[in-house]
Chains A and B, each alone.
Chain A
């Protein structure tokens, strides 16, 4: 484990855009004065003639991208999740979602792991907002390999897509070889029978670590990466609930409106199952180093171990 490669998924996104850009001239990128942070500057260096800085004006950027999509281009728009899903919500809803235009929203700096910038920049509500828009695909990758594959899948898909990438460098656990990504499909990373942990983003790796610890204590954990939050892989969620009888969701997002609620809604209608939602508990974040914040907010393997034991009656 000592030599695990780490990379922030925002950087993976920037790299993937550059690769895609070399193959597809209809791909253009809009950014809002954050190209160095969102990493679209990687694309910008390669293709300056089709990287458009919009300045600090996310509303215009979002609707302008809709216009470019209406002309047949495939625009990716990048800014922080707070300003993409949050500030430009209504532009996404009315100018991209309603006409179902082919715009890809590459939102970076999602969740509490934004760290030192504090609550104003820690967007833990984006899945909720984006899920509520009819026809919107909502995804969040867990590592570099998945993030790059996701960006490519988003390009190939016709229609609006919201992707959330992280600021912090996270371990790469997928193997590049024989890896394939499919929008709307969950990924069973580890089989188990006592409890199913459904996670996305950087919580997937935490879930894998927790499963390891729990195995040593006699709890068999199924770990599923739910990189696509909408459309939810309902068949897989139901299968996991039937197999394990207990479900834990975990995400770097409010427990309101994200993966947790999507899973609860599905299970309560089709397969009532005890569920615990691990996420940000309806509160704002604050400044601090990402790692320390994640621990404080219970977004850690340690906390998952606790929750799983409680749910399985092991404590």
Chain B
């Protein structure tokens, strides 16, 4: 990764974070915490990894991305908008009546959304079904899915993991956003999913554990995923919930709450400063 590439990714991630805050503030509802923890991944996927075409969002041979943790739609929408799938201004319509940007992703309304999700545990199965279908169809596209660390408490997720391994879906990359917090508190206190990577390995996955805010680590893990044959690949990325907005970081309370006007102003000021700093690099 060149310095210039990294800078572009950092700029994209800042813009994704700003889009999240603007959308959720405008909606007066939504899920900023997990959108911000995954913002760097969203930026990397849509600005570097995924073979997609914003001008042709239904392109048949595109890579697919399924946001299994569908409540972090504000992050996905911000990435899609900044990548050119729809106007960035539209992010302000999040959760408004008549908006294409539903509270949880709707594949039939939002350009670039590959699967409707929101009910936890189902997206990963859909992604596995896509990977199986792609192989049957002889397509060389890849399927990526992002889950929350609380989400993997859903039993269906482990059904999907068994299925992915049984059918040797090496075109599937499962990413788990391990920000450590869910609605009722720390994941290990609510219902511990740990050790996550070891469990995935026991289910037959090749797995990497990375810092989800480090673009070099994201890049090398995704490269390893592409090179792995015969088994599906899992990336468990350690992240900070609310990353980028000081008062939201590591606070379970910011899982599903919109900032008020004052909090919005502080958050945008912080993010603008981060953007200016990156742009000056």
Q: Are the CB atoms of B107 and A91 closer together than 8 Å?
A: no
A22 within 8 A of B: no
For A91, give its contact among B122, B137, B139 (CB under 8 Å): B122
| A63/B129 in contact, CB under 8 A | yes
Shortest CB distance A26–B (Å): 8
User: Quick check: A57 and B162 within 8 Å, CB to CB?
Assistant: yes
Q: Does A173 interact with chain B (Cβ within 8 Å)?
A: no
For B167, the closest partner residue in chain A by CB is A52
| Contact among A52, A64, A73, A100 with B126 in the assembled complex (CB-CB below 8 Å) | A64
Residue on A with the closest CB to B131? Answer: A67
User: Shortest CB–CB separation between residue A18 and chain B, in angstroms?
Assistant: 18
Chain A residues within an 8 Å CB radius of B137: 71-73
CB distance from B146 to the nearest CB of A (A): 15
Contact between chains at A60 and B156 (CB < 8 Å)? yes
User: Contact residue range for chain A?
Assistant: 20 to 34
A65 to B166, CA, bound (A): 16
Q: Is the CB of A60 within 8 A of B136?
A: no
B64, B122, B123 — most chain A CB neighbours (10 Å): B122
B258 contacts partner chain A, Cβ-Cβ < 8 Å: no
CB-contact partner of A100 in B64, B108, B123, B162, under 8 A:
B108
| Chain B residues with CB below 8 A from A68, complex form | 129-130, 132-133
Tell whether, in the assembled complex, residue B136 and residue A63 are in contact, meaning their CB atoms are under 8 Å apart: no
Nearest to B115 among chain A residues (CB) is: A70
Cβ of B37 < 8 Å from any Cβ of A?
A: no
Q: Name the distance in Å between B132's Cβ and chain A's nearest Cβ.
A: 6
Complex interface: chain A residues within 8 A of B167 (CB): 52
Task: Determine the chain B residues whose CB is within 8 A of the CB of A54 once the complex forms.
Answer: 159, 163
Give CA–CA (A59, B125) in the complex, Å: 8
**Interface residues as binary, A261-293 with B (CB distance below 8 Å gives 1, 0 otherwise):** 000000000000000000000000000000000
**Interchain CB contact under 8 A, A67 and B108:** no
Residue B178, interface by CB 8 Å: no
A-chain residues with CB within 8 Å of residue B204 when the two chains form the complex: none
One of B60, B107, B118, B122 near A63 (C-beta < 8 A):
B122
Q: How far does the Cβ of A136 sit from chain B's closest Cβ, in whole Å?
A: 15
B160 adjacent to A60 (CB under 8 Å): yes
Q: Are B121 and A70 in contact (CB under 8 A)?
A: no
Q: Which residues of B contact A60 (CB under 8 A)?
A: 125, 128, 156, 159-160, 162-163
**A70–B126 contact, CB under 8 A?**
yes
A90 interface residue per 8 A CB criterion: yes
B133 touches A71 (CB 8 A): yes
Bound together, the chains give a CA A297 to CA B226 distance in angstroms of 58
B119 lies within 8 A of chain A by Cβ: yes
- Give chain B nearest CB distance to A308 CB in angstroms: 45
B132 and A63 contact, CB distance less than 8 A: no
Task: Report B-chain residues with C-beta under 8 Å of the C-beta of A91.
Answer: 122, 125, 156
- State whether B116 touches A64 (Cβ < 8 A): no
User: Shortest Cβ distance from A32 into chain B, in angstroms?
Assistant: 10
Given the known inter-chain contacts A55-B162, A60-B160, please indicate yes or no for A70 contacting B114, CB distance below 8 A: yes
Residue contact B156 to A63, C-beta cutoff 8 Å: yes
A95-B156 contact, Cβ under 8 Å, with A57-B162, A68-B133, A70-B107: no
Roughly how many angstroms separate A70 CA and B115 CA in the complex, as a whole number? 7
Q: Which of B60, B64, B115, B159 contacts A57 (CB 8 A)?
A: B159
Residues of the B chain whose Cβ atoms lie less than 8 Å from the Cβ of A100: 108
Contact B128 A67 (CB under 8 A): yes
- B35 — which chain A residues lie within 8 A by C-beta? none
Q: Which residues of chain A are near B52, meaning CB under 8 Å?
A: none
* Contact B121 A64, beta carbon cutoff 8 Å: no
A67 pairs with B125, CB closer than 8 A:
yes
CB distance from A175 to the nearest CB of B (A): 38
Interface string of B60-95 (1 = CB under 8 A from A): 100010100000000000000000000000000000
Question: Do residues B126 and A95 form an inter-chain contact, with CB atoms below 8 A?
Answer: yes
Residues on A with beta carbons closer than 8 Å to the beta carbon of B163? 54-55, 57, 60, 64
A48 within 8 A of B: no
Q: Is A99 an interface residue (CB 8 A)?
A: yes
B125 touches A94 (CB 8 A): no
Docked pose: A304 CA to B75 CA in angstroms: 59
Any B CB within 8 A of the CB of A98: yes
B163, closest chain A residue (CB):
A60
Chain B residue nearest to A93 (CB atoms) is B119
Is there contact, CB below 8 Å, between B125 and A95?
yes
5 A-B residue pairs with CB within 8 Å: A54-B163, A70-B107, A99-B107, A99-B108, A99-B115
Chain A contacts to B: CB under 8 angstroms = 28, 49-50, 52, 54-55, 57, 59-73, 75, 90-91, 94-95, 98-100
